[in-house]
Chains A and B, each alone.
Chain A
């Protein structure tokens, strides 16, 4: 198969982003500001972990280990997720803004993958986009209502935007496979996806009276796609695998 290495790299990025983001989302269960948010984050967490399972399954079909092994028995250095998804959930303002940035970015990418030349990815993207639409809708609704609700809500979200935006750009960190994937029609370049994402979120933020900050160059949050991660990822993996490591060969 042509472009195999590039394709696997893309699938790892997709799967790892969704797994770690879903894991983080699930940490809100029991801690949300209103019950409806516990439920919403739980629901989105399930969807995302579910998507990661689908991408790991594609990888397995391409010769990689089975999904449980890839997800639960790999060291941080082998993960390809963006540093953005590794960050702890912090307060609700950060988590909500991350959810807004992440889901619009994921949706932009998945929409593009609906035209991918790799048919299995295309089929999966068609399936996922039907749900991801609602993740975006939830993010937009909450961000707009809170930011326009009162001054305090607006200033907390603005502060979260300032913190999260440079991190969010790590989702579009260029990789050595970008051009190859674009030329093969598998996935557009990171730069073009980022541009499209910005075109989608900017009017929404303006509508919510929020603005995007300047970003330092080079972006300090780049590195995840190459296996350079924050310590938070290692902590997360230690926790995620705490039970499975007790007896790695057992069936749980």
Chain B
């Protein structure tokens, strides 16, 4: 449901770019410039591998954690149509995690290690899932607008340089487009329903507007510039570019449903063609991403519970003689 390196972390772990073989590095960069895909068995600089693992892993975690706020509504979905659709949607999200962990494993990190890093807080996931889905309408807003934001990220990233990640994203995007239609259909029903249904939807939008504005990450002017990552086609569009694209595509649709967006300053500047808006609270964003959001503890606790309760199953299925993850390069 998500996929952008919204926060680029610079650290000194591992081989620095200056220490790489300059000839191999030049060949590698030339291939990317020509639009070729890098495959698991190909040579790649350490920094590229590290950033990709971090990004794909963060994306995979977002899918499994993202299954939780919506998952709790499967058992309450009103009627067969919604119940079946929501089950299918959340199943897709878990399926995306499976695809993405597999893509990240081609870079040499096992799924178990990645999940361990999720549980010990070393590895992040999308901030939005640290907010609660309070009512049925919240699930509708998530399925429509959060998935819409995710599609913008993912379509962009599917043009990236790492073959396995791009291929996973193409499949994910095809499925996400159904989620978006489901979410939109649910929102339309609420928006055109009874007064209390409309209110439920408006309240949900009010709650989710800040997380939606946070979704594509901090504004370019305060986030670390990732020129190298752009050149390597790990990151393909800036956070602000993606946010603008989202607002362009969805603000008119939100208004069309008769909903009010809780930002009086939101408008499109006719001269620049850009959307102007009140900056959401980026301190809150940082606070939540670092663990202090309304649901961080609960989300990780559920994940930890599932891991611990399921350990005996994994142990019983494990065949010690088999090697499960073999880095190809």
| Residue positions of A touching B, CB distance < 8 A | 23, 26-27, 29-39, 42-43, 45-46, 49-50, 53, 67-68, 71-72, 91-92, 145-146, 149-150, 152-153, 156, 236, 239-240, 242-244, 246-247, 250-252
B317→A149 contact, CB < 8 A? yes
Pick from A42, A72, A152: contact of B79, CB under 8 Å:
A72
B94→A30 contact, CB < 8 A? yes
User: Any chain A CB within 8 A of the CB of B189?
Assistant: yes
> A151's closest neighbor in chain B, by CB?
B316
Instruction: List residues 38-70 of chain B with CB under 8 A from any CB of chain A.
Output: 64, 67-68
Q: Which residues of A contact B94 (CB under 8 A)?
A: 29-30, 35, 38-39, 42
A30→B67 contact, CB < 8 A? yes
User: Any chain A CB within 8 A of the CB of B77?
Assistant: yes
B75, B97, B98, B311 — most chain A CB neighbours (10 Å): B75
Q: Which residues of B contact A153 (CB under 8 A)?
A: 312-313, 315-317
Task: Given A29-B94, A39-B95, decide whether A92 and B75 contact each other with a Cβ distance below 8 A.
Answer: no
**CA separation between A149 and B318, bound complex, in Å?**
8
A92→B189 contact, CB < 8 A? no
Known: A243-B78, A251-B189. 6 other contacts (CB 8 A): A39-B91, A49-B80, A50-B84, A152-B315, A252-B190, A252-B193
B310→A33 contact, CB < 8 A? yes
Task: Given A49-B83, A246-B196, decide whether A72 and B78 contact each other with a Cβ distance below 8 A.
Answer: yes
Q: Which residues of A contact B302 (CB under 8 A)?
A: 30-31
User: Any chain A CB within 8 A of the CB of B136?
Assistant: yes
A91→B309 contact, CB < 8 A? yes
**CA separation between A46 and B90, bound complex, in Å?**
11
User: Any chain A CB within 8 A of the CB of B10?
Assistant: no
Q: Which residues of A contact B26 (CB under 8 A)?
A: none
User: Any chain A CB within 8 A of the CB of B82?
Assistant: yes
Q: Could you write out 22 A-B pairs with CB less than 8 Å apart?
A: A26-B75, A29-B91, A30-B302, A31-B305, A32-B306, A33-B309, A33-B313, A34-B313, A35-B98, A37-B310, A42-B94, A46-B84, A46-B88, A49-B84, A153-B313, A239-B76, A240-B75, A244-B78, A247-B194, A252-B78, A252-B82, A252-B136
A23→B312 contact, CB < 8 A? no
Q: Which residues of B contact A68 (CB under 8 A)?
A: 79-80
B318→A30 contact, CB < 8 A? no
> A53's closest neighbor in chain B, by CB?
B80
A156, A251, A252 — most chain B CB neighbours (10 Å): A252
B310→A29 contact, CB < 8 A? no
Number of B positions contacting A (CB below 8 A)? 45
Q: Which residues of B contact A240 (CB under 8 A)?
A: 75-76
> A146's closest neighbor in chain B, by CB?
B316
A49→B87 contact, CB < 8 A? yes
B316→A145 contact, CB < 8 A? yes
> B193's closest neighbor in chain A, by CB?
A250
Q: Which residues of B contact A37 (CB under 8 A)?
A: 310, 313
Q: Which residues of A contact B184 (CB under 8 A)?
A: none
A26→B313 contact, CB < 8 A? no
Q: Shortest beta-carbon distance, B202 to chain A, in Å? A: 15
> B136's closest neighbor in chain A, by CB?
A243
A33→B91 contact, CB < 8 A? no
Q: Which residues of A contact B190 (CB under 8 A)?
A: 252
A33→B306 contact, CB < 8 A? yes
> B82's closest neighbor in chain A, by CB?
A252
Instruction: List residues 290-313 of chain B with CB under 8 A from any CB of chain A.
Output: 302, 305-306, 309-313
A34→B314 contact, CB < 8 A? yes
> A154's closest neighbor in chain B, by CB?
B316
Pick from B101, B194, B309: contact of A92, CB under 8 Å:
B309
B194→A30 contact, CB < 8 A? no
Q: Shortest beta-carbon distance, A50 to chain B, in Å? A: 6
B91→A42 contact, CB < 8 A? yes
Q: Which residues of A contact B76 (CB under 8 A)?
A: 239-240, 242-243
3 interchain residue pairs of minimum CB distance = A33-B310, A153-B316, A149-B316
Q: Which residues of A contact B196 (CB under 8 A)?
A: 246-247
**CA separation between A200 and B186, bound complex, in Å?**
44
Q: Shortest beta-carbon distance, A97 to chain B, in Å? A: 13
B310→A26 contact, CB < 8 A? no
A92→B87 contact, CB < 8 A? no
**CA separation between A251 and B136, bound complex, in Å?**
13
Q: Shortest beta-carbon distance, B304 to chain A, in Å? A: 11
**CA separation between A68 and B82, bound complex, in Å?**
11
Q: Shortest beta-carbon distance, B163 to chain A, in Å? A: 22
**CA separation between A32 and B302, bound complex, in Å?**
11
> B95's closest neighbor in chain A, by CB?
A39
Q: Which residues of A contact B314 (CB under 8 A)?
A: 33-34
User: Any chain A CB within 8 A of the CB of B210?
Assistant: no
> A148's closest neighbor in chain B, by CB?
B316
Pick from B71, B74, B75, B197: contact of A250, CB under 8 Å:
B197
Instruction: List residues 157-193 of chain B with CB under 8 A from any CB of chain A.
Output: 186, 189-190, 193
**CA separation between A145 and B83, bound complex, in Å?**
32
**CA separation between A156 and B313, bound complex, in Å?**
10
